[in-house]
């Protein structure tokens, strides 16, 4: 315990924001976990199991639709981080302004695309909806289009705060977003709101968080906020982001989202109710991974800053220590969920809704171990822009996982993605991620 405290004090002295970032990060995780624990049974009670499945498909669609944004934002984080370390506030402001214009344009195009898809194909373009009343789903999709536009702007603000060494403020913005959503969605569901009401609450929470972020920027004057930028700034940024490294960021982000789109995969193949069952088996395990992944998420920003400063020895030391903790934490959490998963889900949603997934809970626990152990090697490679090696590992993992899901689905049903994860990692993905991390760190030591 004394050793851990010494490390925290060391980090606090070298980066005053780090401890606050970790604390607010886990506070957000606590809020997120609490909301999901409370809201899923409420969704089931007020929407019914079939509509719950549709909602989960819709949430997965939202995640999938943001793939381009998170890829772009990751590249922007690297550029803004370097400019922040150098103290170049004018370049920082230019990068922010150009990025905001690009994301706003992308959001408008995406909104138009969703509207066109609704007119041409109806809401079934997001997946199999069975006998659901499409008149309840269409308004939800329209609100989703507006929500995505606000979310893109909010995401850029969080990236800028993180890059400037203010992760605590970025986490607080995210806390506000989810807190407002939670406060509004509960009464909305109790008083009869359907799918559209849930998305409307998401939109409202993001809008309030965006307003708070804007007020913070103006009060602290981190960098001048403007809609225009200096001549040539857009060309410089686009060349940086859409060159070879920018393309690599984009491809890797696509891979990450595709590998996490299991709900959409199940929904397309077996319908909304099967997707709902998969979510119930996997959701607690997914939340555990979010908790485990919060540390590497904060370390990514630190790795970028250490890399930009040339502090390679400290970077290697932090990585090796962090990897030990991640592997141990993932192993304990995975075994715990494998043993207690069915009981936890029954306690959570009630006996009438708990899926009888057989070995699914054991494979979900194994996925915690595999994904948790692979997270930090991926983060260090991403932060140090070793994208070619990372893409080879992640691309191979995704290709084999997809092939196995297709082969296994007719045999085992909706738990096919969980079985595929274990087979892929046992057959070499786990070792490949470990070697990737070692190579990236060795090249910087």
For residue 3, pLDDT over 70 is answered with no
Nearest partner of 249 among 388, 430, 444, 110, judged by Cα: 388
> DSSP letter at 415?
G
Mean of the pLDDT values across residues 315-340? 91
- Is the distance from CB of 93 to CB of 160 less than 8 angstroms? no
Domain range for 411: 261-445
198 and 125 in a common domain: yes
Q: Using 50, 70 and 90 to split pLDDT, how confident is the model at 1? A: very low
412 and 329 in a common domain: yes
For residue 169, pLDDT over 50 is answered with yes
Residue 387 lies in a domain: yes
105 and 35 in a common domain: yes
Q: Which residues contact 28 (CB under 8 A, 6 or more apart)?
A: 171, 174, 175, 178, 294
Contacts 24+ apart (CB under 8 A), 332-336: 333/288, 333/292, 333/365, 333/368, 333/369, 333/372, 334/365, 334/366, 334/367, 334/368, 334/369, 334/372, 335/365, 335/369, 336/365
Compute the residue count for the chain: 445
327 and 216 in a common domain: no
Query: What pLDDT score does 77 carry?
Result: 79
Q: Using 50, 70 and 90 to split pLDDT, how confident is the model at 328? A: very high
- As a whole number, the mean pLDDT across the chain is 80
Against a cut of 0.75, is the pTM above it? no
Most confident residue range from 66-75, 130-139, 310-319:
310-319
For residue 4, pLDDT over 60 is answered with no
For residue 419, pLDDT over 50 is answered with yes
89 and 228 in a common domain: yes
Residue 275 lies in a domain: yes
- Is the distance from CB of 81 to CB of 308 less than 8 angstroms? yes
- Is the distance from CB of 399 to CB of 429 less than 8 angstroms? no
Residue 249 lies in a domain: no
Residue 174 lies in a domain: yes
Sign, Cα dihedral of 180, 183, 189, 191: negative
Residue 18 lies in a domain: no
- Is the distance from CB of 341 to CB of 363 less than 8 angstroms? no
Lowest mean pLDDT across 339-353, 361-375, 426-440: 339-353
Query: What pLDDT score does 227 carry?
Result: 67
Query: What pLDDT score does 71 carry?
Result: 64
* 215, 242, 269 - which closes a domain: 242
436 and 323 in a common domain: yes
Residues 115-137 have pLDDT tens digits of: 777 777 666 655 555 555 556 67
287 and 195 in a common domain: no
- Is the distance from CB of 430 to CB of 370 less than 8 angstroms? yes
214 and 270 in a common domain: no
317 and 235 in a common domain: no
**Cα 169 to Cα 161: distance, rounded to the nearest angstrom:** 7
For residue 418, pLDDT over 70 is answered with yes
Residue 195 lies in a domain: yes
> DSSP letter at 227?
S
Mean of the pLDDT values across residues 378-391? 84
Most confident residue range from 4-13, 164-173, 264-273, 390-399:
390-399
Query: What pLDDT score does 67 carry?
Result: 63
For residue 5, pLDDT over 50 is answered with no
How buried is residue 13: exposed, middle or buried, by Cβ count under 10 Å (0-12/13-18/19+)?
A: exposed
Q: Identify the residue with better confidence: 238 or 7.
A: 238
> DSSP letter at 215?
H
Residue 329 lies in a domain: yes
Could you write out the DSSP letters of every residue in 45-95? HHHHHHHHHHHHHHHHHHHHHTHHHHHHHHHHHHHHHHHHHHT-HHHHHHH
Query: What pLDDT score does 327 carry?
Result: 93
For residue 238, pLDDT over 50 is answered with yes
Lowest mean pLDDT across 73-87, 213-227, 290-304, 431-445: 213-227
Q: Is residue 164 helix, strand or coil?
A: coil
How buried is residue 75: exposed, middle or buried, by Cβ count under 10 Å (0-12/13-18/19+)?
A: buried
270 and 236 in a common domain: no
Percentage with pLDDT > 90 across the chain: 20
Residue 355 lies in a domain: yes
* 214, 242, 270 - which closes a domain: 242
Query: What pLDDT score does 368 carry?
Result: 95
Phi-psi region of 88 (alpha: psi -120 to 50; beta: other; left: phi over 0): beta
- Is the distance from CB of 283 to CB of 143 less than 8 angstroms? no
Lowest mean pLDDT across 174-183, 270-279, 366-375, 407-416: 270-279
**Cα 263 to Cα 58: distance, rounded to the nearest angstrom:** 9
**Cα 241 to Cα 236: distance, rounded to the nearest angstrom:** 9
Query: What pLDDT score does 299 carry?
Result: 75
83 and 195 in a common domain: yes
Domain count, the chain: 2
- Is the distance from CB of 92 to CB of 164 less than 8 angstroms? yes
Q: Using 50, 70 and 90 to split pLDDT, how confident is the model at 17? A: low
**Cα 319 to Cα 306: distance, rounded to the nearest angstrom:** 11
**Token pair listed for 416:** 């096919």
Cα angle, residue 159 at apex, residues 154 and 164 outer, rounded to 5°: 130
**Cα 414 to Cα 265: distance, rounded to the nearest angstrom:** 9
For residue 107, pLDDT over 90 is answered with no
159 and 86 in a common domain: yes
């Amino acid at each position: 315990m004394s050793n851990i405290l010494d490390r925290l004090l060391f980090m606090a002295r070298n980066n005053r924001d780090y401890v606050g970032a970790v604390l607010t990060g886990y506070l957000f995780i606590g809020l997120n976990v609490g909301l999901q624990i409370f809201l899923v049974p409420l969704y089931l009670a007020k929407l019914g199991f079939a509509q719950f499945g549709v909602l989960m498909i819709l949430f997965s669609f939202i995640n999938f639709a943001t793939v381009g944004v998170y890829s772009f934002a990751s590249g922007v984080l690297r550029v803004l981080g370097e400019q922040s370390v150098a103290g170049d506030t004018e370049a920082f402001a230019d990068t922010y302004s150009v990025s905001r214009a690009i994301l706003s344009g992308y959001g408008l195009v995406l909104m138009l695309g969703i509207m066109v898809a609704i007119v041409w194909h109806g809401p079934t373009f997001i997946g199999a909806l069975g006998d659901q009343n499409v008149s309840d789903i269409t308004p939800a999709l329209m609100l989703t289009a507006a929500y995505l536009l606000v979310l893109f702007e909010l995401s850029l603000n969080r990236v800028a705060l993180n890059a400037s060494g203010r992760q605590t403020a970025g986490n607080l913005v995210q806390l506000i977003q989810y807190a407002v959503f939670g406060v509004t969605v509960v009464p909305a569901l109790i008083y009869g709101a359907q799918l559209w009401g849930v998305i409307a609450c998401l939109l409202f929470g993001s809008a309030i968080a965006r307003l708070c972020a804007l007020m913070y920027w103006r009060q602290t004057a981190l960098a001048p906020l403007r809609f225009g930028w200096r001549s040539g700034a857009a060309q410089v940024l686009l060349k940086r982001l859409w060159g070879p490294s920018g393309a690599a960021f984009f491809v890797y982000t696509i891979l990450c989202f595709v590998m996490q789109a299991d709900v959409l995969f199940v929904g397309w193949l077996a319908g909304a109710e099967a997707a709902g069952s998969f979510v119930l088996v996997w959701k607690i395990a997914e939340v555990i991974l979010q908790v485990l992944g919060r540390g590497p998420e904060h370390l990514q920003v630190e790795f970028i800053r250490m890399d930009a400063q040339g502090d390679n020895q400290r970077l290697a030391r932090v990585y090796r220590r962090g990897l030990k903790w991640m592997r141990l934490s993932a192993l304990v959490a995975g075994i715990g969920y494998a043993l207690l998963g069915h009981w936890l889900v029954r306690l959570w949603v009630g006996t009438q809704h708990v899926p009888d997934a057989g070995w699914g809970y054991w494979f979900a626990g194994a996925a915690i171990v595999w994904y948790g152990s692979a997270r930090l090697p991926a983060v260090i490679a991403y932060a140090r822009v070793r994208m070619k090696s990372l893409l080879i590992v992640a691309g191979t993992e995704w290709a084999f996982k997809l092939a196995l899901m297709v082969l296994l689905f007719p045999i085992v049903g909706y738990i096919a993605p969980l079985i595929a994860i274990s087979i892929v990692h046992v057959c070499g993905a786990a070792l490949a991620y470990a070697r990737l991390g070692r190579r990236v760190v060795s090249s910087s030591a």
